[in-house]
Amino acid sequence: MPNEYFNPVRSVYGAGALSSLPELLAGRRALLVTFPEARALGLVGRIEQLLGDRLAGVIDDVRPNPDVAELRALYEAFWRDADAAELIVAVGGGSAIDTAKALMVGTASGRFGDLVAALAAGKAFVPARSKMLIAVPTTAGTGSEVTPWATIWDRERQLKHSLHLKETWPSIALIDPELMLSLPPSVTLQSGLDALSHALESIWNVNANPVSDVFAVAAVHEILVTLPLLMAQPGEIDLRGRMALAALKAGMAFSNTRTALAHSISYEMTLRYGLPHGIACSFPLPMVLERALGRRADRDAVLRQALGGPLDDAPRRLTAFIERLGVKTRFADYGVSDEQADRMVAHALTGARGRNFIGANARETA
Ligand SMILES: NC(=O)c1ccc[n+]([C@@H]2O[C@H](COP(=O)([O-])OP(=O)(O)OC[C@H]3O[C@@H](n4cnc5c(N)ncnc54)[C@H](O)[C@@H]3O)[C@@H](O)[C@H]2O)c1
Ligand SMILES: [Fe+2]
């Protein structure tokens, strides 16, 4: 089978890049979807000034981990007044961008329940109508600005849905590291580790290809060097820019492979134990790395490029890296017993993301 790499997102990036927004809108009317702190930070005011009467409305109460219960009213109001905006500008972290991805695909009825029912049944959802998306990340982590993936949570039923359609690719990723200067240390850390997880998960992945590998290796190199420096100097725009680019590269990598076992484990850790996504998908990385090594010679070679040094020592070095940043790497540290952890990992291996892991299936073993 030939290899294939595909990513249709136009990326525009650099400090100050937000001022290109009017040009990128090219006269179209946009709805702004953003996070609650954006108004006090002056970001909503700045966008109102930049867009003037091209701004059709503002949704600024997107909370972390968009949930079906919160999305319903937003979605139905958006599609009731469908002509108000031609596109959505999402300014925020993964939560704001994923909210916009849920909004941008319209059901024929305008009811959100029809979309959720299709996701829950694992049925192909064909939007009756859709809007375009300009994604402006304010965290350096999820890579959602260059992927079609959106995570939609259902806390009440203790599950998460994955929305991904050809319509949910953003048209443009507008990446301005100046917008990341206001991130609190906890979110800088969580989102940075999320990006590391995306890069590594795209390597120990049955869908890896030579182009996704190039993005992943570059992202791992950059994050291992930059994240500790950034935690020490969070106001350094140069470091913010490097992390933003690293998260973008990790996004480019897993836009083609999806994630794997660490993310599969993370969903339960977030739903049942309340861990933020970036911690939930990064604390198991050394354990997953240990399981990945020796499975496939080609994956070992790419992991060696990414992590350097002798590979048998790589899990220890990755543990030390994560723990030096103040994140514990054992299940027991999060109140999960060995028995519960074994069950969780076994279950995660059978999930959609878990099955992407090269160690999930004996046939994948080299
Ligand atoms: N679509 C994908 O491929 C993908 C990948 C990974 C994670 N996710 C999802 O993304 C979400 C996590 O996204 P995230 O890590 O970017 O965090 P987030 O969007 O949840 O934001 C975290 C917190 O930081 C605040 N915040 C964001 N930007 C800020 C800024 N510039 N200044 C000050 N505060 C700011 C938010 O209001 C929020 O309180 C999770 O729901 C996760 O499931 C999606
Ligand atoms: Fe993630």
Cβ 174 vs Cβ 18: under 8 Å: yes
What mean pLDDT value characterizes the chain?
96
Instruction: Report yes or no: 265 and 345 within 8 Å, Cβ to Cβ.
Output: yes
Q: What is the CA radius of gyration of the chain?
A: 20
Within 90-236, residue ranges assigned H as helices are: 94-103, 112-120, 185-203, 210-232
CA distance 284 to 287: 5
Q: Which ligand is nearest to the CA of 264?
A: 2
- The closest-lying atom of ligand 1 relative to the alpha carbon of residue 65 is 41
Residues with CB under 6 A from ligand 1: 35-37, 64-65, 92-96, 98, 138-139, 141-144, 147, 149-151, 179-180, 182-183, 187, 190-191, 194, 277-278
The answer to whether 155 and 271 are in contact (CB under 8 A) is: yes
pLDDT of residue 339: 97
- Tens-digit pLDDT profile for residues 124-135: 899 999 999 999
Q: Which residues on neighbouring strands pair with residue 132, listed in sequence order?
A: 87
What phi and psi values does residue 208 have, to the nearest 5 degrees?
-60, 150
- Cα 52 to averaged position of ligand 2 atoms, centre (Å): 34
Q: HSE (CB half, 13 Å, CA atoms) of 147?
A: 31
**Which residues are registered as beta bridge partners of 251?**
none
| 62 Cα nearest atom in ligand 1 | 37
Ligand of minimum distance to the alpha carbon of 90: 1
364 — alpha (psi -120 to 50), left (phi > 0) or beta?
alpha
For residues 304 and 310, give the distance between their C-alpha atoms in angstroms, rounded to a whole number: 8
Q: Give the helix ranges, DSSP H, for 137-183.
A: none
Q: pTM above 0.75?
A: yes
Q: What is the Å distance from ligand 2's center to 357 Cα?
A: 15
CA-based nearest residue to 356, from 288, 257, 277, 270: 257
6-44: pLDDT as tens digits: 999 999 999 999 999 999 999 999 999 999 999 999 999
- 299-349 pLDDT, tens digit per residue, is 999 999 999 989 999 999 999 999 999 999 999 999 999 999 999 999 999
Of 163, 172, 171, which Cα lies nearest the Cα of 125?
163
Ligand of minimum distance to the alpha carbon of 282? 2
